[in-house]
Structure 1
Amino acid sequence: MSQTTPVETVLDRRQLRRKLTRWRLAALALAVVALLVAAGRFAGDAGHLAPHIARLEINGLITGDRDTLKLIKSIDESSATAVLVQVSSPGGTVTGSEHIYDELRRLAQKKPVVAVVDTMAASGGYIVALGADHIVADGNSLIGSIGVLFQIPNVAKLLDTIGVKVETIKSSPLKAAPNGLEPTSEAAKAAVDALVADSYSWFKSVVKERRGLDDAQLAAVSDGRVFTGRQGKDLKLIDEFGGEREALAWLERERGIAKGLPVKEWKKNAVGKPFNLFSAAGALLGAAGVEPLERFASQMENVQGQATLDGLLAIWHVGRDQ
């Protein structure tokens, strides 16, 4: 019967001690991450618990993504007494813009909403601005582009040139038409034109109602062009010139919002994205030497979503006004 030597006993104890130390560090790392996340959330929530004016930024291409809609709902349920929507967008999908517009109108039933146009609020960006009770823009801001767009590249002639023919079997002539792989039929053009006309009619109805325009005034602004803020003021597309200062003054003057209330910026990552947690956990677990959990955290951090623009668009193109 073999007996463990004092040297082997010491080595075993050292190895066990190293393992215990590693897992203790891992547990400590996770605890630190949890405390940091909780502290960050508490700090953010604490800043939003007191009365304030919420600043919501709508920038870039508008898709009506779930995070933006969730953020608007969070502001609705918060202690914010008013909302300042900062718009800088050429537009995006008609449906996405409609979703944000609808949410802003619901929000405006409980809290006054004012829109401030930065560089531009064109097409879908202007739809979003229409969700506010009051629109402020600089004289050189770009606004308008009231119209709807449907585009698809047609490579049928190119395919003919290189000798490629796409065979299609479909249930009816207008299924998946137009598709860009064959000449677009007149029936397909008429079908798409009906879609564009219907969305365009909705867009114009929103402009007419929200800006209080008659038919002649609506016709003057709804041919798809963009206007400067100075032009838009005369055309009743905006209410006044200025920026955030003028917007806050309007809230105080017209909606009775207390002067000097802090303006708190609300961002999407303030409403619960988990990837910051995985990033921090991965770094701390790596330092603790727990490689399997570190790799898992890293994989979760690398999960990325891709936004696509499908359907009818309300977007302004530089050099190609739609």
Structure 2
Amino acid sequence: MSLEADLLADRRRLRRRLTFWRLVAIAVFFGALGVAAAMRAPGALPGAQHVLRLPVSGTITEDRRIVQALDRAATDNAVRAVVVAIDSPGGTMAGGEALHAALRRIAERKPVVAVMGATAASAGYMIAMPAQRVFAREATVTGSIGVLLQSFDISELMERAGIRPLTIASGPLKDQPSLFRPLTEEGRAALDRVIQDLHSQFVDMVAAGRHMEAARVRTYADGRVFTGRQALEAGLVDAIGGEREARAWLAAERQVPESLPIRDVQTRGTAERLVSQVTESMMKTLLSEWLGVDAPRALWQPRP
């Protein structure tokens, strides 16, 4: 029995050593892979000309790292153009404004095209406005030029439950809107002024981006959505198409060759991305090799 136990212990130690050296080999492999990719990939060398792609999906909020990456791209001579690939139902007004401003700064220096996917509505439409050319699919859902503020009132429910909220505020508008009492006429008027000002800002962005009179934009700015075909007819987009058509337009109108490689905006440095890849691979190895094989068997071994 003692000999069998010794053999089992040696076997476990051997597996642990093999796992360690496997992890080392994976780290070396990915390090070499990263260096090789940087040296061999077309257009991947530092300073090589390329087209930058900014994918925008999901809810749009303010992202400092994306804005900083776009500001660097604006002064990077290697970036010949920017493709904004949008698939978003919208987001915060401030988030859309920040991205809109960053793209406008780039558009003052180099070509920017926007490509709309399934959805590019509200703030998703707003961020397309700095582009010199806006493409949409025929079935794209876009538009929704408007601003929304939502809340709800549970005061009646609380009253039925015998709950009385206590609010101490510095002024009558500080708690407007409130969950605990109905919106007052004064509060509604104050919030309406805020919404109308934000709406005017949105309209101005569209008017500037689409080269329209603000009055004309307001006829479309009632919150409705459009299909890509409807948006084209209304002048809210320039053409039907996707990234392929966008690249062809850049080549024909802005002399940006279609042969140039395209790179996504990276908010992490090369070293950070490489470390992330290595860490992910190491964790997978640990889970499969250590926890999946050694740990349960080391914790319990059936006696013969």
TM-score range, shorter chain: 0.7 to 0.9
Q: CA deviation at 1:68?
A: 2.2
Q: Secondary structure of the equivalent of 1:46?
A: coil
Q: CA deviation at 1:80?
A: 1.6
Alpha carbons of structure 1 residues 86 and 192: separation in structure 2 relative to 1, 3 Å: same
Amino acid at match of 1:251: L
Separation of aligned partners in 1, 2:26 and 2:194 = 53
Amino acid at match of 2:58: G
2:122 corresponds in structure 1 to: 123
Q: CA deviation at 1:180?
A: 1.4
Q: Is the CA contact (8 Å cut-off) linking 2:113 and 2:131 kept in structure 1?
A: yes
1:39 corresponds in structure 2 to: 35
Alpha carbons of structure 1 residues 72 and 271: separation in structure 2 relative to 1, 3 Å: farther
- Show structure 2 runs of 5+ residues with no match: 1-16, 287-304
1:238 corresponds in structure 2 to: 237
Alpha carbons of structure 1 residues 132 and 258: separation in structure 2 relative to 1, 3 Å: same
1:249 corresponds in structure 2 to: 248
Separation of aligned partners in 1, 2:144 and 2:66 = 23
Separation of aligned partners in 2, 1:275 and 1:159 = 54
1:57 corresponds in structure 2 to: 55
Alpha carbons of structure 1 residues 34 and 253: separation in structure 2 relative to 1, 3 Å: closer
1:298 corresponds in structure 2 to: none
Which structure ranks higher in relative contact order (CA pairs < 8 Å, sequence separation ≥ 6)? 1
2:92 corresponds in structure 1 to: 93
Separation of aligned partners in 2, 1:130 and 1:159 = 45
2:174 corresponds in structure 1 to: 175
- Show structure 1 runs of 5+ residues with no match: 1-20, 288-322
Aligned-pair identity in percent equals 35
Give a deviation string over 1:171-221, Cα, whole Å, max 9, x none: 111113212111111111111111101100111111112112224522321
1:100-249 paired onto structure 2 within 5 Å: 100-249=99-248
Q: CA deviation at 1:163?
A: 1.1
Q: CA deviation at 1:31?
A: 7.6
Separation of aligned partners in 2, 1:39 and 1:231 = 48
1:75 corresponds in structure 2 to: 73
Q: CA deviation at 1:154?
A: 1.6
Question: TM-score scaled to structure 1, two decimals?
Answer: 0.72
Q: Secondary structure of the equivalent of 1:209?
A: helix
Q: CA deviation at 1:277?
A: 3.9
Q: Name which of structure 1's ranges 144-153 and 167-176 shifts more when overlaid on structure 2.
A: 167-176
Separation of aligned partners in 2, 1:211 and 1:190 = 31
Q: Secondary structure of the equivalent of 2:134?
A: strand
Question: TM-score scaled to structure 2, two decimals?
Answer: 0.76
Q: Secondary structure of the equivalent of 1:253?
A: helix
Q: CA deviation at 1:276?
A: 4.9
Separation of aligned partners in 2, 1:195 and 1:271 = 43
Q: Is the CA contact (8 Å cut-off) linking 2:43 and 2:50 kept in structure 1?
A: no
Q: Secondary structure of the equivalent of 1:91?
A: strand
Alpha carbons of structure 1 residues 182 and 213: separation in structure 2 relative to 1, 3 Å: same
Separation of aligned partners in 2, 1:179 and 1:59 = 31
Q: CA deviation at 1:164?
A: 0.8
Give a deviation string over 1:270-316, Cα, whole Å, max 9, x none: 577579549718948x97xxxxxxxxxxxxxxxxxxxxxxxxxxxxx
Amino acid at match of 2:161: I
Q: Is the CA contact (8 Å cut-off) linking 2:131 and 2:209 kept in structure 1?
A: no
Alpha carbons of structure 1 residues 31 and 137: separation in structure 2 relative to 1, 3 Å: closer
Amino acid at match of 2:81: A
Separation of aligned partners in 2, 1:234 and 1:95 = 29
Separation of aligned partners in 2, 1:202 and 1:81 = 30
Q: Is the CA contact (8 Å cut-off) linking 1:33 and 1:277 kept in structure 2?
A: no
Separation of aligned partners in 2, 1:189 and 1:29 = 65
Q: Secondary structure of the equivalent of 1:184?
A: coil
Separation of aligned partners in 1, 2:36 and 2:164 = 58
Give a deviation string over 1:52-90, Cα, whole Å, max 9, x none: 111110111000212322332343344121111101111
Q: Is the CA contact (8 Å cut-off) linking 1:147 and 1:222 kept in structure 2?
A: yes
Separation of aligned partners in 2, 1:169 and 1:104 = 43
Separation of aligned partners in 2, 1:95 and 1:282 = 37
Q: Secondary structure of the equivalent of 1:248?
A: helix
